[in-house]
Amino acid sequence: MATDIKDTVHAVEAAAVMGLLATRPRVLALGEPTHGEDALLDVRNELFRQLVEEEGYRTIAIESDCLAGLRVDAYVTSAADSLDEVMERGFSHGFGDSAANRELVRWMRAYNEGRPAPEQLRFAGIDGPLEMTGAESPREALTSLHAHLARHVDTDLLPCTARTLDRLLGADDRWTEPAAMTDPARSTGRSAEAGELRLLADDLAALLDAQTPHLITATSREEWERARLYARTATGLLRYHHWMADTSPGRMARLVGLRDLMMADNLLALAERGPTLVHAHNSHLQRDRSSMRMGGLPLEWWSAGSIASARLGEGYAFFATALGTIRHRGVDAPQPGTLEGLLYALPDDLCVVDSPRLGAALGDTLAAPRASAWFGYFPFEPAHLTATDGLVFIKDIPQGRAAST
């Protein structure tokens, strides 16, 4: 058995990763089992560099606010903002504090310098303007969509004025009320104004689609794609706020599913642009149904990856990441008999495993799931091996490092 397992192990290199796939995917997904560990992002950064230099990849996307990510993309392609400002305002979930993310942004800007636009690297966030504690106001997405259409479409075709949107949106703190995540009564998502805004957002998105030939000619495909991002985000946020005000037992499951649907829509749009490496939590990228407990309740939903995989077929590939220890988080050496325990016994500190072959090698003796000593770490589910194209294994996660200047 040990020999069979060793035969499934390869170096974490672009050539080895692509060698495990039948075709080059339009979306190559690399998951992580926890957030906030730069060692995981260092592996991501190096793989992206190799994919750029050896496989022609030009876009990286991460689990961060899609609208904030526009600032990062502008910076790496030529904008004059300072790196400090971009790291502060271009990321959500605290990811701007990461030294590895800072290094990625700096490297992308340096790579792009002097290169023509078609050869430049691009950055994208796939998450909505959402946090675990709530959601942003739809103002930025909705008013940006309206402004784009107002500049290029006959006024008579617009369903409303900018002043009407401003009146209906009201104060942003109505939308960002933190208590709304746990108390539906505190949400403004089912107010009369929110209902009217949902209809107007739908009409604006439909107008954008209907005017596609004109808009691409009058502006550019890139500006049209950005307007589509505003449209997806506006309608998605308003839908999310609507269900934040729901009182049914399925409320939280619906919310986590809607979040991943927004991610999937952003992923599919990036796939149209060209080959993309996306990095997010395993639970957002896996093909199997995702699950977790929140507030003591078990939740299940279809992830962004499962939706993208269903739509793209072989155009979507998923490599999960598993790990041995995060000792500074109380995650010590994995138990014998678990998948992580089997891999931890190998001599490799870092490797990528052929998941289908490993699953076949284990056969009826499929390893038991690992128990997590820390709530922030999600062990890999061995039953998911056959639905995973590869498994990146990192033996030991060192304590984080400070950002370099």
DSSP one-letter string for 73-86: HHHHHT----HHHH
State residue 360's pLDDT score. Answer: 85
Q: Which residue has the higher pLDDT, 366 or 166?
A: 166
- Joined together, the tokens standing for residue 163 give 């002043």
pLDDT classification of 7: cutoffs 50, 70, 90: confident
Q: What is the largest CA-CA distance in the chain?
A: 71
Whole-structure pTM value:
0.95
Say yes or no to pLDDT of 402 above 70. no
What's the rounded Cα separation, in Å, for the pair 385 and 394?
17
CA distances from 267 to 51, 54, 175, 355 (A): 18, 22, 26, 23
State residue 80's pLDDT score. Answer: 80
Lowest mean pLDDT among 73-82, 103-112, 113-122, 304-313: 73-82
CA distances from 151 to 146, 218, 256 (A): 9, 10, 35
Say yes or no to pLDDT of 358 above 80. yes
Burial of 309 (0-12, 13-18, 19+ CB in 10 A): buried
Lowest mean pLDDT among 32-46, 100-114, 265-279, 388-402: 388-402
Give the pLDDT mean for 227-234: 98
CA distances from 70 to 106, 124, 348 (A): 16, 7, 38
State residue 132's pLDDT score. Answer: 78
pLDDT in tens, 194-227: 999 999 999 999 999 999 999 999 999 999 999 9
Pairing of strands 297-301, 290-294: antiparallel
CA distances from 271 to 10, 28, 165, 171, 202 (A): 27, 10, 32, 36, 24
The strand pairing partners of 59, in sequence order, are 122, 276
Give the pLDDT mean for 16-40: 97
Report the length, in residues, of the chain: 405
Percent of the chain with pLDDT over 70: 98
Task: Identify the CA nearest to 387 among candidates 337, 319, 335, 327.
Answer: 319
What's the rounded Cα separation, in Å, for the pair 144 and 205?
12
State residue 405's pLDDT score. Answer: 39
What's the rounded Cα separation, in Å, for the pair 3 and 117?
48
Specify whether the CB–CB gap between 189 and 245 falls below 8 A.
Answer: yes
Burial of 203 (0-12, 13-18, 19+ CB in 10 A): middle
Say yes or no to pLDDT of 404 above 70. no
Phi, psi of 62, deg, nearest 5: -130, 170
pLDDT in tens, 295-335: 778 999 999 999 999 999 999 999 999 999 999 999 999 99
Q: Which residue has the higher pLDDT, 183 or 366?
A: 183
Task: Identify the CA nearest to 237 among candidates 211, 257, 258, 219.
Answer: 258
State residue 401's pLDDT score. Answer: 58
Lowest mean pLDDT among 49-58, 105-114, 249-258, 368-377: 368-377
Say yes or no to pLDDT of 89 above 50. yes
Give the pLDDT mean for 172-184: 96
Q: ∠300-303-308 over CA atoms, to 5°?
A: 150
CA distances from 274 to 47, 118, 271 (A): 17, 11, 5
pLDDT classification of 103: cutoffs 50, 70, 90: very high
What's the rounded Cα separation, in Å, for the pair 62 and 54?
21
Mean pLDDT taken over the chain: 95
State residue 40's pLDDT score. Answer: 98
SS3 call for 190: coil
Give the pLDDT mean for 154-159: 98
**Rg of the chain on CA atoms, in Å:** 22
The strand pairing partners of 60, in sequence order, are 123, 277
Please list the alpha-helical segments (H only) found in 23-161. Answer: 38-55, 69-77, 83-89, 99-112, 139-152
Say yes or no to pLDDT of 2 above 70. no
State residue 403's pLDDT score. Answer: 44
pLDDT classification of 35: cutoffs 50, 70, 90: very high
Specify whether the CB–CB gap between 358 and 312 falls below 8 A.
Answer: no
